[in-house]
Amino acid sequence: MPTLVPEVPPPSPQPDVPARNVTATIALACVGVFVSYLPVVGVSVALPVIQQALDASTTGLQWITDAFILPTAALLLTCGVIGDLFGRKKMYLIGLTLSCLGCLVALTAHGVVQVCVGQALTGVGTAALLPATLALISHVCPDHRARGTAIALWTAALGLGLTLGPLFNGLIVEHTGWRWIFLPTLAIGAVTVLVGSVVLTDSRADRERHLDIPGQLLAVVAITAVVYGVIEGGGAPGWGSAEVVTAFVVAALALPVFVLVELRSPCPMLDMRLFRSSAFSGAALVMALTLFAQVGLVFSLSEYFGLVHHASTWDIGVRLLALNGFTVVLGPLVGRLMHRFSPGLVLVTGLLVGGTGALLVNLFDAGTGTGEAALVIAVFGIGIALAVAPITAIAMNSLPRRLASTGGAANSALRQIGSALGPAIFGVILTHRTLDALPAHVAASGLDPADQGQVIGMVNGAGIQAGAFLHLDSGEATGRALAAYGASFTDALHSCALVGGIGMLVAAAVAITTIGVRARAPHGEPEATAATHPAAGATALGETG
């Protein structure tokens, strides 16, 4: 039996907080989450440019993405506890400072390793910022309706960061160099640190909390080992190499030990009682699968547009705009749909639409036009917009109030784990499928045997990104080689789309089985209030970070 943790009381009223400080705190919380998510997709769309500038392999590009996501996933729960113990304002300022420092490191990078170090520092900053921003809002908004409105703004700021990041970076790369894509986060973060240090009021948890050091260390080991094994297994070392096998063995051992430690801990980092609820467990799995498909397809489509279409970073950002833009635009509508129908029905609808959109990527070929691509991506984006908000609403409403804080943090952590596995697994699929398909497409291209061998040798030796920059002895031969490479990479994209689409359809089946599509009451509330409980829905929606 798991050891019970102390009950989490609702936030205590703060009648002495001036109205202007409440507004300023909410605004700074929104800026904080905006800064956190500005580089997430923004860096992904710049990967083709970074690859060319630094001669990075697919493995290197995967690490640039996951170097940000891994520390966010691994440290999110612990940073929430540290903020409760030592002050949310302090964690907010520390998170922003680390994000700025990470951007400064990446801004001055001359190699993939330094970019990864910068991304990792930014990821640690994001792990500190996400729980701190929500806790600051709860501190100044004790009324559940005001808090729900504030968190809805927080969620919109998160989506805005995901939407504007690619466009900012596209403009920057068009007019300067790729390193300057880290400047907006650095500049906005630095100004916000100065303002926040003066304006914000600090707060701590109303209950005693303790750091779960063993649980934290085991979580870091397990998550890192899994992602390391997937990325390196798909690269040069291979799946049978000692380091990859060791990574998977370490992960297989660390995971059950983590569960055992958490069950015995008096103050666990991840309370296993959460998973007694079938709705919460189902929502957790759906969240991981959805973010796995979303972030994985962003990675794959960014590479496709950059390497096959030779699109600029700005063009890539515009083509992917609908993927996250609908989350911002449709946010209010999704909230109303959840209240009018049920979160479960909206969730399943979103997963089915998103899964269909992902599968429609199989219609792409090397010459697919911008309009057709944007239409398919819009279908996928609408599905994501319909699905992401209800997932957390369902998870949070399935728990008793004393577990709400822990459940929110666990939900965010599972989101980041799914996000980390996306580029790791999709990057492996892109590499292996491209290399497998290339010989057949090259043989059918009309190139002479010598040129065929040169193309295959270059792509196998220098990495699949090298295929986008092939140059043979004649313009005609180069054109045929690039066409064969484009067809091979598009085949790989189809495989990624199939995995992502099936993943979202499986998530829909999980949701139907564990959650259902009928309205249900939040835990401990009458069934009649389930569909009309604005605070629960709004608060849960805000926790989707």
29 and 144 within one domain: yes
34 and 142 within one domain: yes
241 and 151 within one domain: no
In the predicted structure, residue 176 carries a pLDDT above the cut 90: no
In a domain, 235, yes or no: yes
pLDDT at residue number 511: 92
What's the mean pLDDT when you consider all of the chain? 80
What is the per-residue pLDDT across 372-405, written as a single tens digit (0 to 9) for each? Answer: 888 999 999 999 888 877 886 777 667 665 555 5
Give the number of domains in the chain: 2
**CA-based nearest residue to 377, from 327, 426, 331, 319:** 319
The band of 8, judged by pLDDT with boundaries at 50, 70 and 90, is very low
What is the per-residue pLDDT across 194-208, written as a single tens digit (0 to 9) for each? Answer: 999 998 888 776 666
**CA–CA separation, 431 and 212 (whole Å):** 39
170 and 93 within one domain: yes
Range with lowest mean pLDDT among 3-17, 171-185, 395-409: 3-17
The two tokens of residue 511 are 């949701």
Ranges of beta strands (E only) in 236-307 are none
Question: Which residue's structure tokens are 């063009």?
Answer: 315
Query: Which of 266, 293, 311 is the endpoint of a domain?
Result: 266
What is the per-residue pLDDT across 476-487, written as a single tens digit (0 to 9) for each? Answer: 888 888 889 889
Spatial contact of 297 and 36, defined as CB atoms under 8 Å apart: no
In the predicted structure, residue 411 carries a pLDDT above the cut 60: yes
What is the per-residue pLDDT across 435-462, written as a single tens digit (0 to 9) for each? Answer: 899 999 988 888 888 888 888 888 887 6
In a domain, 399, yes or no: no
29 and 178 within one domain: yes
In the predicted structure, residue 12 carries a pLDDT above the cut 50: no
In the predicted structure, residue 96 carries a pLDDT above the cut 90: yes
Higher-confidence position of 197 and 216: 197
pLDDT at residue number 399: 65
The band of 235, judged by pLDDT with boundaries at 50, 70 and 90, is low
In a domain, 8, yes or no: no
In a domain, 247, yes or no: yes
246 and 130 within one domain: no
The two tokens of residue 293 are 């498909």
User: Other CB atoms closer than 10 Å to residue 470's CB: what's the count?
Assistant: 19
In a domain, 79, yes or no: yes
- Domain of residue 232, residue span: 213-266
168 and 152 within one domain: yes
In the predicted structure, residue 27 carries a pLDDT above the cut 50: yes
Query: Which of 250, 266, 282 is the endpoint of a domain?
Result: 266
Highest mean pLDDT of the ranges 13-27, 288-302, 418-432: 288-302
Share of the chain above pLDDT 90, in %: 21
CA contacts within 13 A on the Cβ side of 58: 37
Q: Which residues contact 406 (CB under 8 A, 6 or more apart)?
A: 5, 8, 270, 271, 274
Q: Taking every pair of C-alpha atoms in the chain, what is the biggest distance, in angstroms?
A: 80
